[in-house]
Structure 1
Amino acid sequence: MTREELFAILPLLVLTAGIVLLMLQVSFRRGHRAALVTTVAILAATLWACFSVGTALPASGILAVTSLFSIDHTALFFCVLMVMAALAVAILAFHHLESRGASHAAGSFPEEFYILLLLVILGACCLVCASHFASLFLSLELMGLALYPLLGFAVIGDESPQRDQLLSLESAMKYLLLSALSTALSLFGIALVFAASGALDFSAAAAALREAGPNGGILTGGLTLLLIGVAFKLSLVPFHIWTPDVYQGAPTPVTALIATVSKGAVVALILRFFTQVDLFSLPILSTMLAVMAAASMLVGNLLALQQGNVKRLLAYSSIAHVGYLIVAFLIGASAFGQEAVIYYLVAYVLTTTGAFAVASLVADAAQPSIPGGPQPIGNAGEDPFQVEFYRGLFWRSPGLACCFGLMLLSLAGIPLTIGFIGKFYVFAAGVQGQMWLLLATVVIGSALGLYYYLRLLLVMLQRDAESRDVQPAAIQVAVSGQLLVVSLTAILLLFGIFPQLLINWINAL
């Protein structure tokens, strides 16, 4: 491997070295806050590495690192997006674990959370750079193997409520079992592709596809099985069954991680894979994606209407949003199609992270107080993730409620938010591709989504008749949590009012 190739994978090397460093730190001296500081420093160094590599790429804008990875500006952009989401998750995780006494309970080891978080980000960054089926599969498995214990992390520590422990364990087991099925299908699909092409790099698969054409049965079957495995990771209908239960049971920062980083990395992968292998020329794959996108938009929004739990509501909402994104993806390998997919993905990751951040901070404030900590809000035994728990949130914490309201409006696609620009891209892509049935489904799904987003917004503005003459208890949120939510909201409005800033960056990729 040459010096240029080593420098090209500098972000991956920084993450790997950071994981080893954090493991050594935890081995010699445990400390929750110290682990967070080290994690933030590692992620910041990874961001620096991404920008450094981006400015040093050759004139062609792409550098192949052996046959496993392909480094270009688009891959580095996705790495930056994943790392920024991980920074938010790390801050949320600190407050989540602290509110549950993770640093005070005997036998509690919260530092491992950050090691697993960095492993997930390493897998995601490898995945967005993959140009070989071996690196693709290993990156997916690295993410999955780190996500399994993260989903069940609520069982760590004696201070975690028993209900949270049971739900978290259920979440991890369901994801593990169903992910094993997805992995088996993907691996069998890769084996069929290897049997048809005789190689495992994307370029060989593209050459085999050009030679065989649409009639290559073994190659098409392998790609179809691989697409089914990807559809599970994206929770596209009918492979969405795991999503609401896993989202509800997992610790809220982990829910944000799996909804943003895991799905975002897979979207970046299929964008590269479909473009390099020219899978848009296979009608069967495009038709499968179109049917799954339409079903996801309708099923996700219809089931979200029935939810009284905020995490389950956002879970079904995420299913619908991936369906919207696939509409932009289906117009092919055109420059506008890639621009639409990337913009919508940024909008989805930003807004979803912000929505789960508010839900996590509100739930943390409702936990039984630890010695010396603030008094919890709400009544004992009350579920802080129920929609009714948010009744009157505007009067208890106006700033937090306003930020959450803007996140919901962005998810609904209301103007002056980044979500509106993303939804506009989806419509423009649908018109350009003349996908009128999918556009009609987008309109119906958006109308349904608007209803349940505004319903939750209305609940936050309502006050009980008994409490109108009583000053409601304010929600105590740490300064770092407040800064995180405000920063996400500011970026949401910035790119919603001045979208050209982000569009210019995307066009420069």
Structure 2
Amino acid sequence: MNAQELFGILPLLLVSAGIVILLLQVSFWRGHVGALATTIITLVLAGISCFWVAGTLSTGASSIQVTGLLLVDHTSLFFALLLLLTAIAVSIMGYSYLRMRCNPKVNSGSYPEEFYILLLLAMLGATTLVFASHFATFFLGLELISLALYPMLGFAVNGDLSPQKEQLQSLESAIKYLLLSALSTALGLFGIALIYSASGSLSFSGIASHMTELSQTSTLFATGVTLLLISVAFKLSLVPFHIWTPDVYQGAPTPTTALIATVGKGAVIGFLLRFFSTLDLYESQVLIDMLSIAAVASMLVGNLLALMQTNIKRLLAYSSIGHIGYLIVAFIIGKSTFGTEAVIYYLVAYIITTLGAFAVVGLIADSVEEKVLNGEYPENPTLNSENPYQCDFYRGLLWRSPGSPAAWRQCFYPLPVSH
């Protein structure tokens, strides 16, 4: 690996260095604010490096091929920058969530620093995934995200001050995601094995060089690509592979839910754009028809079932299913003039709005949780720490909290609901 290739993967190197530094920092000094600061500094530096590498590409080659495993170009750098900025927002949400539930001043057995280590590991996997040009790095990035998400989904158990029901729901969501993610990984690996058997290559460019004969004669290759897309559909929560999404979203800590809904899905979309464009899979009418059916089903199921929800996080889960269906519609026309631009534009809008929605939910829930811990909640048996996750709780929120987000921390008493 030469100097140019090392420079091309500078964002990955900086995130990796940040993980090592944070591990050493936590080993010698426990501190929630310090861990948050190290995480944000790492993500900011990695984001700045994306601009630096992109500037080099503008003056030289349009892309940098790194050892046949990674391909750095403007599109992948944009996806990496978008995901890194998203992770900064998630880390701030995580600080708000953890500062009361994992407070070593109250209970010395509860520490929140591991959350930020897992967040950086997930980001290392996500950025690897958008740079992947080989199935080895694709699998490495995808599994690195999943392995970091398993403990993050159950992280409420680490918070000794978290309500017991919240801990149980968090653990349940982690187990459900683990089991279904393992199933999707097995299908994906089987699909990759079939693709390799048909083409004799694991690199996207190597497979693309055999696409003429593969697309016309190889049923083995078509089966492999189909299994791979099914595995990806699990990660994107496309119908009918969405069954895990509402339960996991509801039980997981709010920052982790936001991470899955934004970074997890954004990284997979970045991979799909490269995979389809490199292999020119837009010419396969069977695959396009499959994606079209999944997109239509996701839009219908996501929007219709969202109308029936009373839990705000389940509602947002079905909303994300519907939005991914809309995004796949743009993805299907990806070979046209503005196809890729349409996917990126919609993804940016989706991530910004999804982060905003989960930030509001998390801010309100954390405010109520703080009042519960401080004994400031009104003496009413119908009011408890679960109420912020009920849709009825948001009725009249504009009148109760019309000002800045800081004002939302004052008093969130549900208004009476007429039935």
- Residue pair 1:199, 1:205 contacting (<8 A) in 2 also: yes
Q: 1:205 offset after TM fit, Å? A: 1.3
Aligned residue in 2 for 1:298: 300
Cα deviation, 1:252-278, whole Å, max 9, x if unaligned, reads 000000000000000011011100011
Report the residue type matching 1:251 in the other structure: P
Counterpart in the other structure of 1:189? 191
| 2:192 and 2:228 in contact (8 A); partners too | yes
Q: Is 1:234 aligned with 2:228? A: no
User: Which position in structure 2 is the counterpart of 1:78?
Assistant: 79
Question: Are the aligned partners of 2:157 and 2:171 in contact in 1 as well (CA < 8 Å)?
Answer: yes
1: distance between equivalents of 2:242 and 2:255?
20
Residue 394 of structure 1, CA deviation: 1.1
Letter in structure 1 aligned against 2:18: G
Residue 215 of structure 1 deviates from its aligned partner by: 3.2
Q: Which segment is superposed worse, 50-59 or 87-96?
A: 50-59
Q: Deviations over 1:88-138 (max 9, x none)?
A: 000010010113243432211200000000001110000000000110011
> Is the 1:106–1:158 contact (alpha carbons within 8 Å) kept by the matching residues of 2?
no
Distance 2:221 2:232 in 1: 17
Q: Distance in 2 between matches of 1:114 and 1:465?
A: 39
Answer yes or no: is the 8 Å Cα contact 1:256–1:353 preserved in 2.
yes
Q: Are 1:391 and 2:400 matched, yes or no? A: no
Give 2:36's aligned residue: 36
Q: Gaps (5+ residues) in structure 1?
A: 405-459, 467-509
Write the letter of the residue equivalent to 1:384: P
Q: Secondary structure at the match of 1:63?
A: strand
Aligned residue for 1:121? 123
The secondary structure found in structure 2 opposite 1:303 is helix
Q: Secondary structure at the match of 2:369?
A: coil
Retained in 2: the 8 A contact 1:367–1:376? no
Distance 1:374 1:274 in 2: 55
Contact 1:365 1:376 in 2 (8 A): no
* 3-state SS of 2:52 partner: helix
Match of 1:98 in 2: 99
Give the aligned partner of residue 48 of structure 1: 48
SS in 2 for 1:19: helix
Task: Give the letter for the 2:44 counterpart.
Answer: A
Of residues 194-203 and 212-221 in structure 1, the stretch that sits farther from structure 2 once superposed is: 212-221
Q: CA deviation at 1:375?
A: 4.2
2:201: which partner in 1?
Answer: 199
* SS at structure 2 position matched to 1:360: helix
Aligned ranges 1:175-324 → 2 under 5 Å: 175-324=177-326
Worse overlay, 219-228 or 381-390: 381-390
Whichever residue aligns with residue 363 of structure 2, its letter is L
Distance 1:397 1:344 in 2: 30
**Which letter does structure 2 place at the counterpart of 1:331?**
I
Cα distance, 1:290 vs structure 2: 0.4
Q: Which residue of 2 aligns with 1:498?
A: none
Alignment CA distance shift 1:333-1:102 (3 Å): farther
Alignment check: 8 A CA contact 1:64 1:70 kept: yes
Distance 1:103 1:369, change over 3 A: farther
Aligned to 1:380: 384
* Distance in 1, Cα, partners of 2:354 & 2:130: 20
Code of the residue aligned with 2:67 in structure 1: it is T
Q: Deviations over 1:12-68 (max 9, x none)?
A: 000000000000000000001110011111111111111111111253311111110
Tell me the CA shift for residue 331 of structure 1.
Answer: 1.2
Which deviations, in whole Å up to 9, do the C-alpha atoms of 1:182-202 show, x marking residues without a partner? Answer: 000000000011111111000
Please give the TM-score of this superposition, normalised by the length of structure 1.
0.77
- Cα deviation for residue 224 of structure 1 reads 0.6
| 1:270-325 C-alpha deviation (Å, 9 max, x unpaired) | 01110001111111111110000000000011100100111000000000000000
> Which deviates more from structure 2 when the two are superposed, residues 53-62 or residues 32-41?
53-62
Q: Which amino acid aligns with 1:165?
A: Q
RMSD: 2.1
Contact 2:299 2:325 in 1 (8 A): yes
Aligned length: 409
The AA in structure 2 aligned to 1:361 is L
Task: Please give the residue correspondences for 1:450-469 in structure 2 after superposition, counting only pairs within 5 Å.
Answer: 464=416
- Secondary structure of 1:71's match? strand
Q: Find the aligned partners of 1:465 and 1:297 in 2 and give their Cα distance.
A: 30
Letter in 2 for 1:304: A
2:22 corresponds to: 22
Provide the C-alpha distance between the structure 2 equivalents of 1:367 and 1:202, rounded to a whole number of angstroms. 49
Q: Tell me how far apart the structure 1 counterparts of residues 243 and 146 of structure 2 sit (CA, whole Å).
A: 17
Question: Would the aligned equivalents of 1:392 and 1:464 in 2 still touch at CA under 8 Å?
Answer: no
Contact 2:102 2:111 in 1 (8 A): no
- 1:5 counterpart SS class: helix
Question: 3-state DSSP class of the match of 1:106?
Answer: coil
SS of the residue corresponding to residue 308 of structure 2 reads coil
SS at match of 2:389: coil
Question: What are the within-5 Å matches in structure 2 for residues 301-380 of structure 1?
Answer: 301-369=303-371, 375=376, 379-380=383-384
TM-score of the superposed pair, with normalisation by structure 2: 0.93
Q: Which amino acid aligns with 2:35?
A: A
CA-CA distance at 1:368 after TM superposition: 4.3
SS at structure 2 position matched to 1:335 = coil
Q: Counterpart in 1 of 2:137?
A: 135
- 2:23–2:117: 8 Å Cα contact kept in structure 1? yes
- Report the CA distance between 1:374 and its aligned residue: 9.4
Query: Structure 1 CA distance, aligned partners of 2:250 and 2:417?
Result: 30
Structure 1 residue 370, shift from structure 2 partner: 8.1
1:374 to 1:365, Cα distance in 2 relative to 1, 3 A: farther
Q: Deviations over 1:466-508 (max 9, x none)?
A: 9xxxxxxxxxxxxxxxxxxxxxxxxxxxxxxxxxxxxxxxxxx
Secondary structure of the residue aligned to 2:403 is helix
In structure 2, how many angstroms separate the alpha carbons of the residues matched to 1:129 and 1:374? Answer: 49
> CA shift at 1:332, angstroms?
3.4
2:67 corresponds to 1:66: yes
Corresponding residue for 1:448?
Answer: none
The whole-number CA distance in structure 1 between the counterparts of 2:327 and 2:209 is 28
Distance 1:231 1:303, change over 3 A: same
Q: Distance in 2 between matches of 1:280 and 1:400?
A: 46
Task: Give, in whole Å, the separation in 1 of the partners of 2:76 and 2:350.
Answer: 18
Distance 1:465 1:218 in 2: 58
Cα distance in 2, alignment partners of residues 301 and 332 from structure 1: 24
Which consecutive segments of 4 or more residues in structure 1 shift more than 6 A? none
Match in the other structure for 2:3: 3
Q: 1:94 to 1:381 in 2, by over 3 A?
A: closer
